[in-house]
C-alpha cells in the first residue's frame, strides 16, 4: 500500500486514483539533483534583465525624467522583475519538458511508479516556479541595491512573482504537450518577445491607440507588471486582487490542461 503524504487528502479525493499519488515533490527533487551540476546555465537567465536595467533604465533613462510620476529606472525595474519570473518559468516548462517527453522518455519511467500525470504536471510546474522565483529573487536584490524599491509593500513582490511564475509555467507546460518538433518552439519566441516589448515594460499604456490598449490589458505580462509595479512603488489598491485572480485562474487551467494532455500522450 502506497503511503499518502500529509496535506494531499483533498486533492486525492477530487482526482481519480492512478492520476495523482501526491508525490510531485519527487520530481522537484530529481530536477534539483540534475541541475545542481549545471548551476551556471540555471542562473544565466538572471543577467538578461540586469543588462536591460543598466542599458535602458539608466542609459536611455537619462533622456526621460519620469513616467507617471515615477523616475524611469524605478518604472522599468519592476517590469523587468515580472519578465524575469515569466522567462525563468516558461522556458523551463517548454524546452526542458519537451526534451523529457520526446527524447529522454523520462515520464514513461515515472508512470511505471505509483505517480500519475497530475504528479508530473504539478512537479514540473513547481520546479519551473522555483526557477522563476530564483531569477526574481536575484533581480529583486539588484533593485534593492540600486534603491529602486520605494514601498514596504515590496515584501509581497516575491510571493507575487512566484504566482506569476507558476501561472506561466502551467500554461507553458500545457502548450508544450501540443508541440510536435523543435521548430514549433519558434511560436514560443513569437509570443514571448511581443509580450516583453509591449506589456508596458518600457513605456506607459497611454502611448498606445485605444484598440491596442485594450489588447495589451488582456495579456498576462501586463497584469504581472501592474502587480509588481504597484507593490514596489506603493500604489496599492483593491484592484491588485484582480491581477492575483487572473494568475490563479491561469495556473489552475494550465495545470489541468497539462495533466490531461500528458495523460493522453504518455498512456496512449
Give the range among 38-42, 153-157, 193-197, 209-213 with minimum mean pLDDT.
38-42
Q: What is the pLDDT of residues 37-81, one digit of tens each?
A: 766 665 666 676 777 777 776 776 676 777 888 888 889 989 989
Q: Are 254 and 174 in contact (CB under 8 A)?
A: yes
Give the model's pLDDT for residue 268. Answer: 61
Does an H or E element contain 66, and which? strand 66-67
Higher pLDDT, 11 or 262: 262
Q: What is the pLDDT of residues 12-40, one digit of tens each?
A: 444 445 566 677 888 888 888 887 776 66
Q: DSSP code of 152?
A: G
Instruction: Please state the rounded mean pLDDT for residues 90-98.
Output: 83
Percent of the chain with pLDDT over 90: 20
Q: DSSP code of 219?
A: S
Give the model's pLDDT for residue 38. Answer: 67
d(CA 204, CA 198): 9
Give the model's pLDDT for residue 266. Answer: 73
Q: Are 219 and 130 in contact (CB under 8 A)?
A: no
d(CA 165, CA 156): 14
DSSP, collapsed to helix, strand or coil, labels residue 70 as: strand
d(CA 126, CA 20): 15
Distance between start and end Cα atoms, the chain: 26
Query: CA-CA distances (angstroms) from residue 17 to 7, 12, 21, 25, 66?
Result: 16, 7, 7, 18, 56
Instruction: Please state the rounded mean pLDDT for residues 101-130.
Output: 82
Query: CA-CA distances (angstroms) from residue 118 to 94, 113, 231?
Result: 17, 13, 33
Higher pLDDT, 235 or 268: 235
- Where b means 16+ CB within 10 Å and e means fewer, 141-173 reads ebbeeeebbeeebbebbbebbbbbbbbbbbbbb
d(CA 106, CA 114): 15
d(CA 41, CA 155): 28
**Whether the predicted pLDDT of 1 surpasses 60:** no
d(CA 47, CA 26): 29
d(CA 86, CA 162): 10
Tell whether the torsion through CA atoms of 107, 109, 110 and 115 is positive or negative. positive
> How many of the other CB atoms lie within 10 Å of CB of 204?
11
Q: What is the pLDDT of residues 146-168, one digit of tens each?
A: 888 888 898 899 999 999 988 99
- To the nearest whole number, what is the mean pLDDT of the chain? 82
Amino acid at each position: 500500500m502506497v503511503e499518502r503524504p500529509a496535506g494531499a487528502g483533498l486533492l486525492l479525493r477530487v482526482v481519480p486514483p492512478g492520476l495523482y499519488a501526491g508525490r510531485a515533490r519527487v520530481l522537484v527533487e530529481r530536477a534539483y539533483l540534475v541541475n545542481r551540476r549545471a548551476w551556471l546555465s540555471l542562473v544565466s537567465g538572471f543577467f538578461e534583465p540586469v543588462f536591460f536595467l543598466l542599458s535602458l533604465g539608466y542609459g536611455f533613462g537619462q533622456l526621460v525624467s519620469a513616467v507617471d510620476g515615477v523616475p524611469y529606472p524605478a518604472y522599468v525595474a519592476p517590469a523587468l522583475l515580472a519578465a524575469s519570473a515569466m522567462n525563468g518559468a516558461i522556458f523551463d516548462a517548454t524546452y526542458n519538458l519537451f526534451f523529457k517527453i520526446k527524447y529522454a522518455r523520462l515520464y514513461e519511467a515515472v508512470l511505471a511508479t505509483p505517480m500519475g500525470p497530475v504528479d508530473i504536471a504539478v512537479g514540473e510546474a513547481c520546479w519551473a516556479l522555483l526557477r522563476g522565483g530564483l531569477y526574481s529573487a536575484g533581480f529583486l536584490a539588484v533593485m534593492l541595491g540600486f534603491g529602486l524599491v520605494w514601498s514596504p509593500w515590496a515584501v509581497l513582490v516575491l510571493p507575487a512573482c512566484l504566482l506569476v511564475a507558476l501561472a506561466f509555467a502551467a500554461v507553458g507546460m500545457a502548450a508544450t504537450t501540443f508541440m510536435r518538433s523543435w521548430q514549433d518552439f519558434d511560436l514560443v519566441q513569437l509570443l514571448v518577445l511581443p509580450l516583453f516589448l509591449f506589456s508596458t515594460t518600457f513605456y506607459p499604456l497611454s502611448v498606445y491607440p485605444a484598440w491596442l490598449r485594450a489588447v495589451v490589458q488582456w495579456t498576462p505580462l501586463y497584469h504581472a507588471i501592474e502587480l509588481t509595479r504597484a507593490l514596489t512603488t506603493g500604489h496599492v489598491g483593491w484592484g491588485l486582487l484582480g491581477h492575483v485572480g487572473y494568475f490563479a485562474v491561469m495556473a489552475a487551467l494550465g495545470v489541468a490542461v497539462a495533466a490531461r494532455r500528458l495523460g493522453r500522450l504518455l498512456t496512449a
